Structure 1
Amino acid sequence: MAASPRKRKKTAVKSSAKAEFTMLGEHTERAASPAEARLETAANPHHDSLYLVRFTAPEFTSLCPVTGQPDFAHLVMDYVPGKLIVESKSLKLFLTAFRNHGAFHEDCTVMIAKRIIAAVKPKWLRIGGYWYPRGGMPIDVFFQTGAPPKGLWLPETGVAPYRGRG
């Protein structure tokens, strides 16, 4: 007989910056849709410094809005924080909310960028959505808020042009 899972009291986790996290350190169900998902933030401990934060999601999935078939992408999200940073667990849960969401590649990629912008108001952001082929053609979608800040070290995305990615 399998042991029953421990019941944990739902509590808010607090960071040193006095941010309140409701997902971090807790079992959290995936939101039913991206619109229902919440991005949590924390105060940027180095808001006076110019630096880049990169999140990479090599196994992002959504659904084709026409056929309902799964679509797969490798996302690279770069941003220069202002006063806030994105809490990574909430970002992961936000991204998994797309698994049952039907939208075109362009919509998914730009929607993710706009949600990050709304949550943390970064000094700069770019996202590369490297989508695996649909109908034999890869569709890559790129979005950025403007020119990168002067003096920013901006590494390559690390995603090669399509040649049977994998």
Structure 2
Amino acid sequence: MEAARETRSPVILQGSAGARKYAGEQFLRHLILPALSLGLVRGAILSRYTRAAVLDIQREDFMRTARAKGLTPGAAMRRHGIRNALVPVITVTGVEFSALIIGAVVIETVFVVPGMGSLLLRSVANRDLGEVQAIVMVIVVLVLVVNLLVDVVHSIVDPRLRSAR
């Protein structure tokens, strides 16, 4: 008989029993449900905004003009519509990132996933003010970096901002 194969975890993960299942070969299998729980709602919201943005852009005068010049609807959308439709979608993506961080705290608690969210809750329960402040600062920096990236991508994608340069 073959002995049970032992999965060795990195030193960081060996302290927590819940963390052991997130190390080694089973890593992805154990992340399917938390990832689906966190991403499905956010993906649905993003797809709804994308659809609304595309439908709004298709009704604009410049799209009608592009089709009148002989472009097929698909070519008109590729050449003129996608950049304009991406503007609100990029904004919503940046806002949804903050919601993902908040959702990660809940998901980590429900699925017993070791991470910053569960560390934050444990620190609040233990009244460790320094650790809570550090985690909140990391989250704030992440949100600020994402907002900066959203602004940079806006300046690249938005045709109105490109023509103003």
Per the normalisation by structure 2, the TM-score is 0.29
More strand by share: 1
Of the two, which has the highest radius of gyration? 2
More helix by share: 2
